[in-house]
């Protein structure tokens, strides 16, 4: 098991921030060409530590060497990180040559807002590897079609300001989150970063130091270790200008409003205890609505496999792990759906519940005791009564429990409209939601579906696909719907990733087919996902058409 790192002292934190202050001065004068060089060195660095990174994560999470679950640590670790770096490097090269990022699709203005395709990207052969999936980002209505990146590029490449020192409070569940949060702040927002490692995955710190050595040498990135006390010392230090939080809404509110008796009064009066710019990603009670249409057996099984994956991936310690499935009581295939999901969840091996407090949360959300607190069963609570168990809709459980909420709807259209209202107003969070929709409904009710997507208040919406893919793609902005503020942070404030520098993103629509062939590597029933994933990592590390045949061949073994 990984060895715990000694907590950073107050003096060590202050020294790290002083080094970052010197790095901020360097960043102010750093040319685009030098930045590209840094990014390319980081790509090589991540390539050199990728295997060590994955082995460390699998060791900490007690994932057996023969388990297909190992691929999660590749895709959500070094692979996602290298993909981010490649896309950012291309954006810098585009600006150097053309004066703006080259978008992968045409800007369309629909329903008074700009919509831009952000996936597939041309750089990494996405259209060949992920066809026919697409992702489209919708911007705030005030952003005009001829200026979709103007403000962001001006901040990054225009008149220079003094870079801020940002304290990034790292996530403990998904290893690419702290890495890409920090890289976003450096390369997209032009700041320097003190990354406080989460105690759950602080074993990654030395690996980050090796993989991102150029950033440490340039004093653009420093690491801080420890728990709450170290985090407090970091964010309260006078050299720290702003804070990015990835964690729970409770942690956010403790940081912003304090834990004293005057906390709620401070919130009402908007008097935060920490007077610094704060951005965040704070989780979600992630819903998945299954429209009650007619699906073929293969289509329904494929969608059930994705839903099961979204429940079991990373032992359900994901802010976008599906926690509520919405179905219609009048759906003729509901029993078939239940049977498929029950059988699949039963067939997926239980995993080590590595995240602290998981067993206690499991008992709270199921009302059942557990025999083995280290391995929690995948649990589906069918046809819940939200009045009797409101916490299933209002609190993020961060444990392998999913509830089914059954709606009384007499048609697909009625169900869609009800689902939108329920997901917006009765289920907590604004980060991500998914819909399973038949091809026939998408064709016959295209306008109604588009109206529903306009109405949904989520930063990412998946159509026939789990929204985690949008996180891993890196080109779409990632964050909660921009209806939040410090007093009501919802799923967070601001966006990360956003490698095309889009101004004021509102939401991303990720679309996939009902049935994907070959089977996606993130699917829980894929037989050889790790081998395919390492081939994909090799492609991202050094893109080449010559690598596609091997990748295409291996992908068909799933």
Asked if 437 and 477 touch (Cβ cutoff 8 Å), the reply is: no
Range list for CATH 3.40.605.10 in the chain:
10-104+146-246
Tokens representing residue 220 in the block: 């653009």
- Structure-token match 């060409």, residue found: 33
Q: Which residues contact 74 (CB under 8 A, 6 or more apart)?
A: 50, 54, 530, 533, 534, 537
Residue 551 C-alpha from the chain's centroid: 25
Q: What is the pLDDT of residues 192-208, one digit of tens each?
A: 999 999 999 999 999 99
Give 76-123 as a DSSP string. Answer: IIIIHHHHHHHHHHHHHHHHHHHSS---SS-EEEETTEEEEEEES-TT
| pLDDT score of 554 more than 80 | no
* pLDDT (0 to 100) of residue 501: 98
Residue 216: how many other CB atoms lie within 10 Å: 16
* pLDDT (0 to 100) of residue 57: 98
Average pLDDT rounded to a whole number, residues 99-113? 95
Asked if 277 and 242 touch (Cβ cutoff 8 Å), the reply is: yes
Cis peptide before 62 (omega within 30 of 0): no
Tokens representing residue 37 in the block: 């060089």
- Helix ranges (DSSP H) in 109-262: 126-129, 150-157, 176-183, 205-211, 213-217, 228-236, 249-257
| pLDDT score of 8 more than 90 | yes
* pLDDT (0 to 100) of residue 517: 80
- Helix ranges (DSSP H) in 356-429: 358-366, 391-394, 412-425
Asked if 104 and 119 touch (Cβ cutoff 8 Å), the reply is: yes
pTM: 0.97
| pLDDT score of 552 more than 90 | no
- Calpha distance 120→440 (Å, rounded): 24
Q: What is the pLDDT of residues 465-520, one digit of tens each?
A: 999 999 999 999 999 999 999 999 999 999 999 999 999 999 999 999 999 887 78
Asked if 3 and 203 touch (Cβ cutoff 8 Å), the reply is: yes
Tell me the residue length of the chain.
Answer: 558
Tokens representing residue 424 in the block: 């917006």
- Calpha distance 461→505 (Å, rounded): 13
| pLDDT score of 336 more than 80 | yes
Tokens representing residue 539 in the block: 């492609």
Tokens representing residue 521 in the block: 């590597």
Asked if 558 and 526 touch (Cβ cutoff 8 Å), the reply is: yes
- Calpha distance 289→471 (Å, rounded): 20
- 537: enclosing H helix or E strand: helix 529-541
Tokens representing residue 105 in the block: 């699709």
Selection from 396, 524, 415, 358 nearest residue 405 by Cα: 415
φ, ψ of residue 457 in degrees (nearest 5): -105, 75
| pLDDT score of 556 more than 80 | no
Q: Which residues pair with 279 in a beta bridge?
A: 244
Residue 535 C-alpha from the chain's centroid: 22
| pLDDT score of 413 more than 80 | yes
Asked if 63 and 69 touch (Cβ cutoff 8 Å), the reply is: yes
DSSP conformational letter for 377 = P
Q: What is the pLDDT of residues 372-406, one digit of tens each?
A: 999 999 999 999 999 999 999 999 999 999 999 99
Say which CATH superfamily domain 10-104+146-246 falls into: Aldehyde Dehydrogenase; Chain A, domain 1 (3.40.605.10)
Asked if 510 and 137 touch (Cβ cutoff 8 Å), the reply is: no
Q: SS in 3 state form for 8-54?
A: CCHHHHHHHHHHHHHHHHHHHHCCHHHHHHHHHHHHHHHHHHHHHHH
| pLDDT score of 558 more than 80 | no
Tokens representing residue 453 in the block: 């997507």
- Structure-token match 């109405």, residue found: 455
Give the CA dihedral 328, 333, 339, 342, nearest 10 degrees: -40
**pLDDT band (50, 70, 90) for residue 1:** low
In the predicted model, what is the mean pLDDT of the chain? 96
Asked if 500 and 118 touch (Cβ cutoff 8 Å), the reply is: yes
Average pLDDT rounded to a whole number, residues 85-112? 96
Percentage of residues of the chain with pLDDT beyond 70: 98
Say if strands 242-246 and 277-281 run parallel, antiparallel, or are unpaired.
Answer: parallel
In the sheet where 286-290 sits, what is the strand order?
Answer: 107-110, 113-119, 134-139, 505-511, 460-463, 432-436, 286-290, 322-328, 401-407, 379-381
- Helix ranges (DSSP H) in 275-373: 297-312, 334-347, 358-366
Range list for CATH 3.40.309.10 in the chain:
286-469+480-494+507-511
CATH of 286-469+480-494+507-511, picked from 1.10.10.10, 3.40.50.10070, 3.40.309.10, 3.40.50.20, is 3.40.309.10
- Calpha distance 57→49 (Å, rounded): 12
DSSP conformational letter for 466 = -
């Amino acid at each position: 098991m990984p060895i715990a790192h000694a907590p950073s002292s107050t003096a060590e934190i202050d020294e790290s921030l002083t080094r970052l202050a010197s790095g901020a001065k360097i960043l102010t004068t750093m040319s685009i060409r030098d930045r590209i060089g840094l990014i390319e060195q980081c790509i090589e660095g991540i390539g050199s530590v990728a295997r060590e990174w994955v082995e460390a994560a699998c060791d900490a999470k007690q994932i057996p060497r023969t388990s297909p679950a190992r691929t999660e640590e590749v895709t959500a670790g070094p692979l996602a990180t290298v993909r981010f770096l490649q896309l950012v490097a291309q954006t810098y090269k585009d600006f150097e040559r053309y004066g703006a990022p080259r978008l992968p699709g045409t800007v369309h203005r629909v329903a008074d807002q700009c919509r831009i395709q952000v996936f597939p990207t041309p750089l990494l052969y996405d259209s060949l590897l992920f066809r026919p999936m697409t992702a489209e980002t919708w911007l705030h209505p005030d952003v005009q079609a001829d200026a979709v990146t103007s403000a962001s590029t001006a901040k990054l490449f225009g008149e220079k300001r003094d870079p801020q020192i940002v304290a990034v409070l790292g996530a403990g569940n998904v290893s690419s989150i702290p890495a890409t949060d920090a890289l976003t702040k450096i390369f997209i927002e032009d700041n320097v970063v003190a990354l406080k490692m989460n105690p759950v995955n602080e074993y990654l710190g030395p690996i980050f130091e090796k993989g991102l050595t150029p950033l440490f040498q340039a004093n653009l990135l420093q690491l801080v270790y420890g728990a709450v006390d170290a985090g407090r010392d970091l964010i309260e230090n006078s050299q720290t200008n702003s804070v990015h939080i990835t964690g729970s809404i409770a942690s956010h509110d403790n940081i912003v409003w304090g834990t004293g008796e005057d906390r709620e009064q401070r919130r009402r009066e908007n008097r935060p205890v920490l007077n610094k710019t704060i951005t965040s990603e704070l989780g979600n009670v992630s819903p998945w609505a299954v429209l009650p249409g007619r699906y073929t057996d293969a289509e329904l099984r494929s969608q059930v496999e994705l839903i099961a994956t979204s429940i079991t991936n990373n032992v359900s310690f994901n802010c976008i792990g599906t926690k509520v499935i919405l179905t219609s009581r009048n759906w003729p295939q509901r029993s078939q759906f239940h049977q498929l999901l029950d059988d699949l969840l039963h067939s997926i091996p239980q995993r080590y519940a590595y995240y602290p407090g998981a067993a206690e949360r499991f008992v709270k959300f199921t009302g059942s005791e557990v025999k083995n607190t280290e391995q929690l069963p995948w649990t589906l609570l069918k046809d819940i009564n939200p009045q009797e168990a409101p916490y299933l809709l209002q609190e993020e459980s961060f444990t392998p429990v999913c509830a089914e909420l059954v709606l009384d709807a007499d048609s697909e259209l009625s169900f869609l409209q009800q689902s939108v209202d329920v997901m917006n107003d009765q289920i907590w969070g604004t980060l991500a939601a998914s819909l399973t929709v038949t091809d026939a409904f998408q064709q016959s009710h295209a306008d109604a579906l588009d109206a529903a997507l306009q109405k949904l208040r989520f930063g990412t919406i998946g159509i026939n696909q789990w929204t985690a893919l949008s996180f891993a793609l890196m080109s779409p902005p990632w964050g909660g719907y921009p209806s939040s503020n410090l007093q009501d942070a919802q799923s967070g404030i601001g966006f990360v990733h956003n490698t095309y520098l889009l101004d004021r993103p509102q939401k991303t629509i990720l679309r996939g087919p009902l049935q994907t062939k070959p089977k996606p590597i993130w699917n829980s029933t894929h037989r050889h996902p790790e081998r395919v994933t390492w081939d994909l990592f090799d492609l991202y590390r050094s893109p080449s058409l010559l690598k596609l045949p091997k990748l295409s061949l291996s992908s068909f073994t799933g």
